[in-house]
């Protein structure tokens, strides 16, 4: 009994001391990046960022949240740099002076996925027609419903097709891309997803790509530093290093090289912005 | 079914080979939750003792508050701590957001009412003659208080178990204030959430097994305190 | 004179629970407060030990008691309560909090176990039977080597063989160890068997204080006679 008491006491103390030590110890330079779950879940960042960390001796801490929260994190000065895919929200972020030095890094594209049987028969249509058919036939469609970049894109596509997404066939998951795909797969439903996340998750899903390749489905990613004038506590220097590193041809090449199950997920933009 | 079996196989492999990422995640979870429970215990006991041994105006109100806070939704705690520790928040200058310290703070807020309420409950439900007996045997106030604490130790240990259980299994608050940063603030629960989202079910199951095993081990160790009489 | 009470009066609201009770106890006397339940016996004992305040004075060994528990006096409650630990820890509690050495505790324990037989000291005290609880409670008091022991109905809920056992112990404590005992009981026969002197307390009033012989054979008060005959119904 006494030995257990001693063990538990000593162990608890060690753990607490370890915690305090970890808090007190100054670490190497840290760069905080807020990005979207779909970016993070694609695995690209885990693939390329170690190269940056090695070269600059800066530890990159990635916080993956929805586009809305990633931008709010930037506005509140909780991170040094953000990487999102919502050109309008990005430009607004810069207009409000929270962000500077935007660089258009790469794009992937959105696709409409659904069950292989394709009950609404949208396979091969252009995006505008496909959205119209889904809504006309009231085929089950799962929306992110979380104000994310993908969700915003989806709403824009509904608007462009002149449809109002509402009714019992229109489900809102309120969750990240992965969970939304999972839900669509379970329900035999259609959904809009970025190609990267879908490719990454494909093997656990009963879904396939039905509509893609439309110019309206392009999904550009931008990287923006948080303005140090608004938040003096941010590490602007490291953020600049980070953005500059993305501009390097070698990095752009690395992005193009990233494959999941043999498929390329992202195409480098070399700073050429599309859609704003 | 296949995923579950594969999950368990992969889980055993990851655990047995002491996969560095798994070890880091487990260690962080343990560090954060044990720190929160130890600090929470230190902070909650004075509350429980004050409520048990002293009468003061507004006491019943305070009891009600503590009981209510016991059911505090962790996500709300997370949001609250985020807004305070955020660079734009009142304590932003401390730069604690997205650190293990922030996770400990959030868990502290969740754990303190649990430990305080259960401990208070177990002390105040003791037979009132215990104190009289101790005093009649010559105990002063402090010694009588200590006796009552020892008599209520079963409930107090239960409060620690409940607090640890809440802390180690908590996900919403530590996700918001910790950010689930790899090798830094990624705990078992937030890692399970991430791996499920990513469809890496094997990894998620492995982490789930570790989480269960840890909760189980802590329960076993602490329950030994309840089982036997501790000599005074 | 070890204990002296003067004009002890206690009222709860309109009700007078004790009405100017006076008595004194010498050393080493066995003094019994006899009375039906509800007569105020427990209240009186709690006033002596300072758990309840009252008007009137209590002198212990010539010193007036205000509040707090005087060293040298102990009380055994009706239905004593055990601490959730071993019998040994229960019995030695009073000395341990007084920071006595383990040698001293061992010695005292031997003396006490000589009078009060207890089989297993390692058992958890919560698992004891009613008779064992009373014995451990008595041992717990005796460890403190008190001069005055107050006991509130120590045999109230015990079966006859245990009653006999406890009475035997009390007798030895009084006659062999020389401890003064004040016993509160409603049991007329027990009072007769044990007491040197008795007080009859009815509705908070002192009816009679006499020695054993006088009390049971030629009581001074007619009310006492009626009580002993069982004519007074409560």
Give pLDDT tens digits for B194-211: 888 777 888 888 899 989
Chains A and C touch (3+ CB pairs under 8 A): no
Token pair, residue B60, equals 């019943």
Structure confidence at residue A268 (pLDDT): 93
Pick the CATH number of B2-211 from 3.40.50.720, 1.10.3720.10, 3.30.420.40, 3.30.70.270: 1.10.3720.10
C78 — pLDDT class (breaks 50, 70, 90) = confident
Per-residue confidence band for B232, with pLDDT thresholds at 50, 70 and 90: very low
C226-232's contacts with Cβ under 8 Å and 24+ in sequence apart are C227/C188, C227/C200, C227/C202, C228/C188, C232/C36, C232/C202
Per CATH, the number for C3-229 is 3.40.50.300
Which range among A3-17, A234-248, C46-60 shows the weakest confidence by mean pLDDT? A3-17
Residues in chain A, total = 276
Q: Where are the domains of chain A?
A: 28-108+220-268, 109-217
Q: Measured between beta carbons, which residues in chain B are less than 8 angstroms from residue A76?
A: 86-89
Residue B220 clears pLDDT 80, i.e. is over it: yes
Contact A1 B228 (CB under 8 A): yes
The arithmetic mean of pLDDT across residues B160-179, rounded, is 93
Give me the mean pLDDT over the A203-212 stretch.
92
pLDDT at res. B228: 55
Q: Does B232 touch chain C (CB under 8 A)?
A: yes
* B residues 146-185 lying closer than 8 A (beta carbon) to C: 147, 150-151
DSSP string, C18-61: EEEEEEEE-TT-EEEEE--TTSSHHHHHHHHTTSS--EEEEEET
Contacts of C144 in chain B (CB under 8 A): 137-138
Q: Is pLDDT at C119 greater than 90 in this prediction? A: no
Residues linked to residue C59 through DSSP beta bridges, in sequence order: C4, C64
A17-26, A55-64, A233-242, B117-126: least confident range = A17-26
Which of B35, B37, B43, B177 should be substituted to probe chain A, the one whose Cβ sees the most A Cβ atoms within 10 Å? B35
Residue B141 has what pLDDT?
87
Q: Are C226 and C232 in contact (CB under 8 A)?
A: yes
Q: How do residues A93-137 score in pLDDT, each as one tens digit?
A: 999 999 999 999 999 889 999 999 999 999 999 999 999 999 999
CA distance A8 to A25: 25
Tell me, what's the pLDDT at B227? 60
Three-class SS of residue C104? Answer: helix
Q: Is the CB of B143 less than 8 angstroms away from the CB of C97?
A: yes
Tell me the CATH number of domain A109-217, given options 3.40.50.1820, 2.30.38.10, 3.40.50.1100, 3.40.190.10: 3.40.190.10
Nearest in space to B119 (alpha carbons), one of B191, B47, B190, B167: B47
SS3 of A130-188: HHHHHHHCCCCEEECCCCCHHHHHHHHHHHHCCCCCCCCCEEECCCCHHHHHHHHHHHC
Digit-coded pLDDT (tens) for C123-180: 999 999 888 999 999 999 999 999 999 999 999 888 888 999 999 999 999 999 999 9
Choose among B30, B99, B180: nearest Cβ to A23: B99
Does the beta-carbon distance from B199 to A1 stay under 8 Å?
Answer: no
Task: Characterise A188 by phi-psi region: left (phi > 0), alpha (psi -120 to 50), beta (else).
Answer: left
CB contact under 8 A, B135 and C69: yes
The answer on pLDDT for B26 being more than 60 is yes
Q: How many CA atoms lie within 13 A of B22 on its CB side?
A: 20
pLDDT digits (tens, 9 = 90+) for C211-231: 999 999 999 999 999 999 886
C81 contacts B229? CB cut-off 8 A = no
Token pair, residue A32, equals: 């905080």
DSSP letters along A66-123, please?
Answer: -HHHHHHHHHHTS-SEEEES-HHHHHHHHHTTSEEEEEEEEEEEEEEEE-TT-TT--T
Determine the pLDDT at residue B76.
Answer: 94
A76 Cα to chain B: minimum distance (Å): 5
Nearest to A225 by CA among A107, A79, A104: A79
Q: What is the mean pLDDT of chain B?
A: 89
Nearest Cα of chain A lies from the Cα of B101 at a distance, in angstroms, of: 7
Distance CA B106, CA C208 (A): 70
B141 touches chain C (CB under 8 A): no
Tell me B230's DSSP state.
P
SS (H, E, C) C139-205: HHHHCCCCCEEEEECCCCCCCHHHHHHHHHHHHHHHHCCCCEEEEEECCHHHHHHHCCEEEEEECCE
| Residue with the larger pLDDT of the pair A7 and B133 | B133
CA-nearest residue of chain B to A232? B87
Q: Is C187 near chain B, with CB under 8 Å?
A: no
Give the pLDDT confidence score for residue A199 in this predicted structure.
Answer: 86
- For residue B226, the chain C residue with the least C-alpha distance is C84
Q: What is the ipTM, given to two decimal places?
A: 0.85
pLDDT at res. A19: 62
CA C158 and chain centroid, separation: 16
Contacts of A41 in chain B (CB under 8 A): 197-198
Closest CA to A109 of A248, A211, A205: A211
d(CA A22, CA A167): 52
E strand or H helix that includes residue C114 = helix C102-115
Residue A241's nearest CA partner among A65, A49, A104 is A49
Please give the model's pTM, rounded to 2 decimal places: 0.80
User: How does pLDDT run across C81-91, given as a tens digit for each residue?
Assistant: 999 999 999 99
* Interface contacts (B, C; CB < 8 Å): 56
Are A190 and A140 contacting, i.e. CB atoms less than 8 angstroms apart? yes
CB distance B202 to B6 below 8 Å:
yes
Number of neighbouring beta carbons within 10 Å of residue A215: 10
3-class state of residue C206 by DSSP: strand
**3-state SS, residue B100:** helix
A77 and B86: CB-CB below 8 Å?
yes
Q: Once rounded to an integer, what is the mean pLDDT over residues B43-49? A: 94
Give yes or no for a contact between A62 and A49, defined as CB atoms under 8 angstroms apart: yes
Q: Which of B123, B126, B134, B138 to mutate: most C Cβ within 10 Å? A: B138
Q: What band does B218 get if pLDDT is binned at 50, 70 and 90? A: confident
Q: Are A171 and A188 in contact (CB under 8 A)?
A: no
Q: How many pairs of residues across A and B have Cβ atoms under 8 Å apart?
A: 91
Q: Determine the residue among B122, B229, B230, B231 to mutate to test chain C binding: the one whose Cβ has the most chain C Cβ atoms within 10 Å.
A: B229
C72/A110 Cα distance (integer angstroms): 89
Contact B129 C89 (CB under 8 A): no
Lowest mean pLDDT among A5-14, C19-28, C66-75: A5-14
Interior angle at CA A30, CA A25 and CA A34, nearest 5 = 130
Three-state secondary structure call for residue A35: strand
- The pair of three-digit structure tokens given for residue A78, joined into one six-digit string: 């909780």
| 3-state secondary structure (DSSP) of residue B31 | helix
CB contact under 8 A, B229 and C97: no
**pLDDT tens profile B70-102:** 988 999 999 999 999 998 889 988 889 999 999
Compare all CA atoms of chain A with the CA of B40 and give the residue at the minimum distance.
A16
* CB proximity under 8 Å: C 76-95 to B: 77, 79-81, 83-86, 89, 93-94
* Mean pLDDT value of segment B144-154: 91
Which residue in chain C has the smallest CA separation from B130? Answer: C81
Task: Please say whether the beta carbons of A200 and A260 come within 8 A.
Answer: yes
Structure tokens at A149: 């970049």
Judged by a CB distance cut-off of 8 A, whether residue B95 touches chain A is yes
d(CA B113, CA B118): 8
| pLDDT value of position B222 | 82
Nearest to A220 by CA among A86, A124, A102, A116: A86
B231 pLDDT exceeds 60?
no
In angstroms, what is the C-alpha Rg of chain C?
18
pLDDT at B230 over 80: no
Q: Give the nearest chain A residue to B102 (CA atoms).
A: A23
CATH of A28-108+220-268 given 3.40.50.720, 3.40.190.10, 3.20.20.150, 3.10.450.50: 3.40.190.10
């Amino acid at each position: 009994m006494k030995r257990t008491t001693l063990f538990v006491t000593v162990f608890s103390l060690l753990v607490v001391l370890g915690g305090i030590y970890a808090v007190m110890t100054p670490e190497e330079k840290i760069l905080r990046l807020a990005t979207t779950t779909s970016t993070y879940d694609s695995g690209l960042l885990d693939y390329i960022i170690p190269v940056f960390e090695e070269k600059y001796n800066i530890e990159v801490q990635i916080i993956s949240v929805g586009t809305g929260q990633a931008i709010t994190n930037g506005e509140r000065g909780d991170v040094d740099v953000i990487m999102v895919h919502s050109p309008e929200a990005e430009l607004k972020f810069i207009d409000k002076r929270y962000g500077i030095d935007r660089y258009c890094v790469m794009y992937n594209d959105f696709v409409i996925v659904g069950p292989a049987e394709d009950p609404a028969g949208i396979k091969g249509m252009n995006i505008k027609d496909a959205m119209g058919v889904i809504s006309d036939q009231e085929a089950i469609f799962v929306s992110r419903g979380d104000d994310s970049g993908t969700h915003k894109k989806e709403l824009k596509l509904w608007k462009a097709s002149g449809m109002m997404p509402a009714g019992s066939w229109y489900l809102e998951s309120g969750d990240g891309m992965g969970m939304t795909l999972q839900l669509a797969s379970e329900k035999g439903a259609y959904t809009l997803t970025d190609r990267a996340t879908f490719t990454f998750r494909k093997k656990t899903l009963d879904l396939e790509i039905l509509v893609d390749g439309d110019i309206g489905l392009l999904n550009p990613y931008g990287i923006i530093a948080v303005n140090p004038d608004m938040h003096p506590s941010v590490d602007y220097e490291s953020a600049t290093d980070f953005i500059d590193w993305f501009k390097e041809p070698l990095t752009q090449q690395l992005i193009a090289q990233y494959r999941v199950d043999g498929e390329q997920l992202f195409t480098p933009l070399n700073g050429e912005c599309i859609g704003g | 079914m296949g995923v579950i079996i594969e999950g368990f196989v992969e889980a055993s492999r990851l655990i047995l080979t002491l996969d560095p990422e798994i070890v880091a995640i487990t260690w962080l979870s343990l560090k954060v939750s044990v720190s929160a429970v130890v600090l929470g215990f230190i902070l909650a006991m004075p509350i429980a003792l004050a409520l048990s041994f002293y009468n003061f105006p507004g006491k019943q109100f305070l009891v009600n508050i503590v009981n209510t806070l016991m059911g505090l939704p962790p996500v709300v705690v997370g949001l609250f701590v985020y807004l305070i520790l955020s660079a734009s928040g009142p304590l932003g200058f401390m730069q604690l957001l997205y650190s293990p310290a922030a996770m400990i703070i959030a868990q502290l807020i969740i754990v303190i009412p649990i430990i305080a309420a259960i401990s208070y409950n177990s002390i105040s439900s003791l037979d009132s003659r215990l104190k009289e007996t101790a005093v009649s045997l010559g105990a002063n106030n402090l010694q009588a208080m200590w006796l009552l604490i020892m008599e209520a130790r079963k409930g107090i240990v239960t409060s620690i178990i409940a607090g640890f259980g809440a802390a180690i299994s908590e996900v919403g608050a530590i996700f918001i204030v910790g950010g689930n940063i790899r090798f830094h603030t990624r705990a078992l629960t937030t890692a399970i959430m991430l791996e499920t989202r990513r469809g890496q079910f094997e990894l998620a199951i492995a982490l789930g097994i570790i989480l269960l095993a840890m909760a189980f081990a802590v329960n076993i160790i602490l329950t030994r305190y309840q089982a036997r009489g501790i000599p005074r | 004179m070890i204990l002296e009470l003067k004009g002890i009066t206690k009222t709860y609201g309109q009700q007078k629970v004790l009405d100017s009770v006076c008595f004194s106890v010498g050393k080493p006397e066995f003094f019994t407060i006899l009375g039906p339940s509800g007569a105020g016996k427990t209240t009186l004992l709690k006033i002596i030990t300072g758990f309840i305040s009252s008007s009137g004075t209590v002198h212990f060994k010539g010193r007036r008691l205000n509040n707090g528990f005087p060293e040298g006096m102990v009380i055994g409650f009706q239905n004593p309560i055990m601490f959730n630990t071993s019998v040994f820890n229960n019995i030695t509690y009073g000395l341990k909090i007084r920071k006595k050495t383990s040698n001293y505790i061992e010695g005292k324990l031997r003396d006490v176990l000589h009078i009060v037989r207890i089989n297993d000291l390692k058992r958890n005290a919560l698992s004891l039977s009613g008779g064992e609880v009373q014995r451990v409670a008595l041992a717990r008091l005796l460890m403190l080597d008190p001069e005055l022991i107050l006991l509130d109905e120590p045999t109230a809920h015990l079966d006859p063989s245990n009653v006999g056992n406890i009475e035997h112990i009390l007798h030895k404590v009084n006659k062999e160890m020389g401890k003064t005992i004040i016993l509160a009981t409603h049991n007329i026969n027990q009072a007769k068997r044990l007491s040197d002197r008795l007080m009859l307390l009815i509705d908070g009033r002192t009816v009679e204080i006499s020695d054993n012989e006088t009390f049971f054979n030629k009581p001074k008060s007619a009310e006492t006679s009626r009580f002993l005959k069982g004519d007074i119904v409560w």
